[in-house]
Chain A
Amino acid sequence: MSLIASNLCLKADTEYHLNDVCFEMSKGEIYTIIGRTLAGKTTLLKTIAGLIAPDSGTLNLDGSDFGRIPVWKREVAMVYQQFINYPHLSVYENVAFPLKQRGILKTEIHNRVMKSLLQVGLEGFEERKIQALSGGQQQRVALARSLVKEANIVLLDEPLVNLDYKLREQLREEFRNIFTAKASEDAILIYSSTDPVEAMQLGGQILVMDEGRILQQGNAKAVYENPSSAKVSQITNDPAMNLFEGTVAEGKIILSPQIQFDLPRHCQELPPEKYNFGLRAAAITLDEGGFPFTIELSEISGSETFLHLKHEHVKVVGLLDSVQNFNMGETVMARFDTTHLYAFATDGTLKSSPYSGMK
Chain B
Amino acid sequence: MGLLYTCLKYLVVSLWSIFVIAPFLWAISTSFKDFQSVTNGATYIPWVDFEPTLEGWRALWKSPAKGGVDIVEPFFNSIFVTCAGSLISILLGTLAAYALSRFTFKAGFIRNSDITFFFISQRIMPPVVLAIPFFIMLGKFALLDTLLGLIVVYIVLLMPIAVWIMVDFFNKVPREIDETALIDGCNPYQAFYKVVLPNSIPGIIVAGMFCLIFGWTDFFFSFILTFTEVQLLPVAIVALNSSITPWWSLSAAALVSVAPLIAVAFVVERYLSKGNLSGALK
Contacts and interface: CB of A to CB of B under 8 A. Distances in A.
A–B interface present (Cβ within 8 A): yes
A74 B180 CA distance: 12
Interface in A63-104: 70-74, 76-78, 80, 82, 84-88, 97-98, 101-102
Given A70-B187, A82-B174, A82-B176, A87 B199 contact: yes
Contact of A84 (B176, B182, B187, B190): B176
A213 interface: no
B186 A78 contact: no
A188 interface: no
A228 to B, nearest CB: 33
B185 A98 contact: yes
A84 B180 contact: yes
Contact of B184 (A50, A82, A101): A101
A323 interface: no
A87 B196 CA distance: 10
Contact of B183 (A77, A82, A87, A102): A77
Interface in B163-200: 174, 176-177, 179-187, 190-191, 195, 198-199
A49 interface: yes
Contacts of B176: 80, 82, 84
A70 B174 CA distance: 21
A265 B185 CA distance: 57
Interface in A18-73: 46, 49-51, 70-73
A84 B184 contact: no
Contacts of B191: 72
Contacts of A78: 179-180, 183
Contacts of A49: 179, 183
Interface residues of B, number: 17
A112 interface: no
**Main secondary structure on B side of the interface with A:** helix
A97 B184 contact: yes
Contacts of A82: 174, 176
A73 B182 CA distance: 9
Given A84-B174, A86-B199, A88-B199, A149 B184 contact: yes
Interface string B41-55: 000000000000000
A145 interface: yes
User: Shortest 9 CB-CB distances between A and B: which pairs?
Assistant: A98-B184, A101-B185, A88-B198, A71-B182, A84-B176, A80-B176, A72-B187, A78-B183, A72-B185
Interface of B: 174, 176-177, 179-187, 190-191, 195, 198-199
16 contacts: A49-B179, A49-B183, A51-B179, A70-B187, A72-B185, A74-B183, A76-B183, A80-B176, A80-B180, A82-B174, A86-B181, A86-B195, A88-B198, A97-B181, A98-B185, A101-B184
Given A86-B199, A98-B184, 20 more contacts: A49-B179, A49-B183, A50-B182, A71-B179, A71-B183, A72-B187, A76-B183, A78-B180, A82-B174, A82-B176, A84-B180, A86-B180, A86-B181, A86-B195, A88-B195, A88-B198, A97-B181, A101-B185, A101-B186, A102-B185
